Amino acid sequence: MQRRRLGKTGLEVSALGLGCMAMTNLYGPVDEAEAIATVREALDAGADFLDTSDAYADGKNEELLRRALADGYRAKAVVATKFGNVRTPDGKPGANGKPEYVIEACNKSLARLGIDVIDLYYQHRVDTTVPIVTSDPSCRPSLSVSLSFGSVLYVLTSAPSERPSLSVSVSRGRVGMRGLKPSTTNASGSSTDWRM
């Protein structure tokens, strides 16, 4: 299986990934045992990149992935999930990028997935009401996010045209975002800054 490096990160994934959205009752009835078998067969074949979202079947897709990753399959997988794709009270599509929501969504995804670390955390829909922090030396618009090294390895956005760059600080400590909770540094006293 060919491998691909994502952006300027050290994260490598299989060239073929498995999008899990249709493996829950999003478009109609699904055979859960068959869906789990599909995930495991993909992992056994070397396709380790699994993509889901908290929005797919209201989190049930992440719960399905939890069951698929049991019995040692988690060690074979690069788990990607997304946040920010929400419904308004009247059922219309919306976006939420508020720091408090991102932390809450991350913790809920970790619980539904039954894992300690989300390998790749995407911003599914960009919330244009959240101020953009300019932290890139070239002053390009960017979103600066601090997440715990123990909970999220990498953060990306799946709507890059809306935010040209995403500046991510990965550090050890509690899940937090700049301005909401102080981020902590790793054992050497530094954080790692990844440019996507």
Q: Report pLDDT digits (tens) over 98-133.
A: 877 888 888 899 999 999 889 988 888 877 787 644
Average pLDDT, the chain: 74
Q: How do the domains of the chain map onto residue ranges? A: 3-195
Q: Report pLDDT digits (tens) over 179-191.
A: 222 233 333 332 2
Residue 4 has pLDDT above 70, yes or no: yes
- pLDDT class of 15 with cuts at 50, 70, 90: very high
Residue 13 has pLDDT above 80, yes or no: yes
Strand 17-19 relative to strand 49-51, pairing: parallel
Would you name the residues annotated as active-site residues?
56
CATH of domain 3-195: 3.20.20.100
Closest by CA position to 126, among listed 94, 104, 155: 94
Alpha helices in the chain (DSSP H): 32-44, 60-68, 99-113
Residue 156 has pLDDT above 80, yes or no: no
Edge to edge, the sheet with strand 142-148 lists 142-148, 165-171, 192-195
CB of 154 closer than 8 Å to CB of 194: yes
